[in-house]
Amino acid sequence: MIYEDERLDDLQLDGLKIIQNKKQFCFGTDAVLLSSFSNVRGTSTVIDLGTGNGIIPLLLYGKYKPKQIIGIEIQKDIYELAVRNVKLNNLEERISIINGDVRNIKEYFQAGSFDQVVTNPPYLKAGTGIISAADAMAYARHEILCTLEDILKATKYLLKSKGVFTMVHRPQRLNEILSLMKTHSIEPKTIRFVHVNAKLPAILVLIQGLKDMNPSLTVEPPLIIHKPDGTYTEELNLLYGRN
């Protein structure tokens, strides 16, 4: 099942493994943080918008064992890799991967089909930053095939009332994120900023909201990745399952 330019990584979580293409987008700390912050319930039906190689469904299964997880991915070759990762871990009965476009979400699901929506979307607007020569990398980083508003429109449609939306993104776009969430009936409830160390500005923001709820926002203490000596903090080691 391992092709040229691919590697097999041990997730060090419940015996799970993942195949990653070294020339495409490999998962990073943001995926690990998102899966932990989502706090998925065991009874939930969950969908991951823009699932890539399937890392988020695998992490969610390893941490929470929800009833059902679906990942949707628009790029055919990456979708096929996600399918192989599900098969590799013998999780076909719990995780399903769909080759589809988030912008056409109504073609695949009925309204209110899910308890929770999670996403690690492209961070950069189309036309900003340096565009990768490899299409898969460009699509993962830039809003070429899917914008932030596309994600929120789909979320509003997919979630049950009081359903949970969880996302990781860049703090620079927080104003836009909060505005679009409210526009699409997702009330921001919890925010946590992620810092490389205690002296530097945040590099990521974790945000969770509920559909059709009243305003009430909690900003959690910051998550720090590195100690002053450069080693990982206890919390980050815990999130990665390191003792």
The pLDDT tens digits of the residues spanning 17-46 come to 999 988 777 888 999 999 999 999 999 999
233 — pLDDT class (breaks 50, 70, 90): very high
pLDDT over 90 for what percent of the chain? 81
pLDDT digits (tens, 9 = 90+) for 67-87: 999 999 999 999 999 999 999
The number of domains in the chain is 1
Q: Is residue 144 part of a domain?
A: yes
Q: Is residue 56 part of a domain?
A: yes
pLDDT at residue 143 in the model: 47
Name the E strands within 94-185: 95-99, 114-119, 159-169
Question: What is d(CA 30, CA 92) in angstroms, rounded to the nearest whole number?
Answer: 25
Query: CB within 8 A of 49, min separation 6: which ones?
Result: 72, 102, 117, 118, 119, 121, 146, 151, 154, 155
Q: Is residue 189 part of a domain?
A: yes
Question: What is d(CA 44, CA 216) in angstroms, rounded to the nearest whole number?
Answer: 23
Task: Name which of 11, 8, 9, 7 is nearest 242 in CA terms.
Answer: 11
Question: What is d(CA 209, CA 220) in angstroms, rounded to the nearest whole number?
Answer: 14
Q: Is residue 192 part of a domain?
A: yes
Contact 35, 41 (CB under 8 A): no
Q: Is residue 212 part of a domain?
A: yes
**At 74, which CATH number?**
3.40.50.150
Question: What is d(CA 64, CA 228) in angstroms, rounded to the nearest whole number?
Answer: 32
Distance in angstroms between the alpha carbons of the first and the last residue of the chain: 31
Contact 72, 49 (CB under 8 A): yes
Q: Is residue 78 part of a domain?
A: yes
Structure token pair of residue 213: 């709820």
Residues of the domain holding 140: 6-239
Residue 113 amino acid letter: S
Lowest mean pLDDT among 23-37, 91-105, 120-134: 120-134
pLDDT at residue 142 in the model: 45
Q: Is residue 1 part of a domain?
A: no
